[in-house]
Amino acid sequence: MIYPENNKLPEKQNKKLTIDEIEDLIKTYERKHIGCPTMLVKSFKSKQEFRQWCKEGSKEDLEATLKAFEEAELYEYCVVINEVKNSK
C-alpha cells in the first residue's frame, strides 16, 4: 500500500511473534482449510499424518470436520476421522 502523503511504501517491520500469536495463526489456517477439505488433505504427507492431526482435535472438532469431509465426498478420510472420534 502506498501512502499518498509521501508516495512511499511503508517500512517492513520485523516483529517477532509470540507463541500465542503463532498458535492463533495456525488455528486460523486450519479453520480456513476446514472450509475446503480438499485443500486441507493436500497439506498432509500421508494418511498417518492426517490421523495424527485428527487425534489433536476434540470430539466436537472431529464431528465438525467429519461433516465438512462428508460434504466434500472425501469418504476415505471420513473413515479415519470416525476411527479417531470413536477412540476418544
pLDDT average per 10 residues of sequence, the chain (88 residues)? 54 75 80 76 93 96 94 96 96
pTM check: above 0.85 = no
Q: 3 — phi, psi (to 5°)?
A: -85, 130
- Backbone phi, psi, residue 8, to 5°: -120, 155
**What DSSP assignment string belongs to 13-70?**
P-PPPPHHHHHHHHHHHHHHHHTSHHHHHHT-SSHHHHHHHHHTS-HHHHHHHHHHHH
